[in-house]
Amino acid sequence: MYQGNRGMGLENLINLTNDTYNRKGLAVINKRPTPVKVMKSKGTKVLSGFYESKSTVDYDGVYQGRAICFEAKSTGEKRFPLKNIHQHQLDYLYLAENVGALCFFLIEFRKLNQVFLVPFSVVQHYVEHAKLGGRKSITFDDFNFYAAAEVRTGNGVPLDYLPVLEKLIREGAA
């Protein structure tokens, strides 16, 4: 369970983690901005604008010579609603994984103060099952049982997900 930085948003924790990985020379992972067309601004403040196009994924970069792409999601429930994932995100992760990228989700259960790294293939399985009439969410028990691995604070990193990713690579799950 990650204990540090309570109350800090998942995205901020990931950004701090990625900055730490970069400083330590472990990985270069960047937050991808959503493309926005600014119509009116004053200084650095955007007064009006619109999304030009759908973004791809939240984060991408390089780890041990391999591309890495992932989405960060958070839920206040004891289940993760699949409706929180957009089709264009699944499409991008599918394409990236097929050309060799390491693709996954970091999913936070806010009330339980736990974050899990879930391989893209696992989420894709649940999404496909839901399309066929199955559950429209992944239960917390599924995360604990077989769907994912918990991410913890460690090695001076707020949300140390690389050891979890490394374990999945060794096991052939990523």
For the chain, how big is the Rg over CA atoms in Å? 17
Binding site per annotation, positions = 56, 58, 71, 89
pLDDT for the residue 40: 67
What is the C-alpha to C-alpha distance for residues 152 and 4, in angstroms, rounded to an integer? 10
- Residue position matching structure tokens 């930085």: 5
Binding site per annotation, positions for Mg(2+) = 56, 58, 71, 89
What is the C-alpha to C-alpha distance for residues 103 and 155, in angstroms, rounded to an integer? 23
Q: Calculate the CA 47 to chain-centre distance.
A: 29
SS (HEC) of 40-93: EEECCEEEEEEECCCCCCCEEEEECCEEEEEEEEEECCCEEEHHHCCHHHHHHH
Can you give the pTM of this predicted structure?
0.84
Residue 94 neighbours by CB distance under 10 Å: 13
Of 118, 88, 114, the residue nearest 103 (C-alpha): 118
* DSSP at 35: P
Answer left, alpha or beta for residue 65, where phi above 0 means left and psi between -120 and 50 means alpha. left
pLDDT for the residue 46: 65
By CB atoms closer than 10 A (0-12, 13-18, 19+), residue 84 is middle
Mean pLDDT per 10-residue segment, the chain (174 residues): 55 95 96 64 66 74 96 94 95 96 95 93 95 94 76 88 90 74
- Domains and their CATH numbers in the chain: 10-33+49-171 (3.40.1350.10)
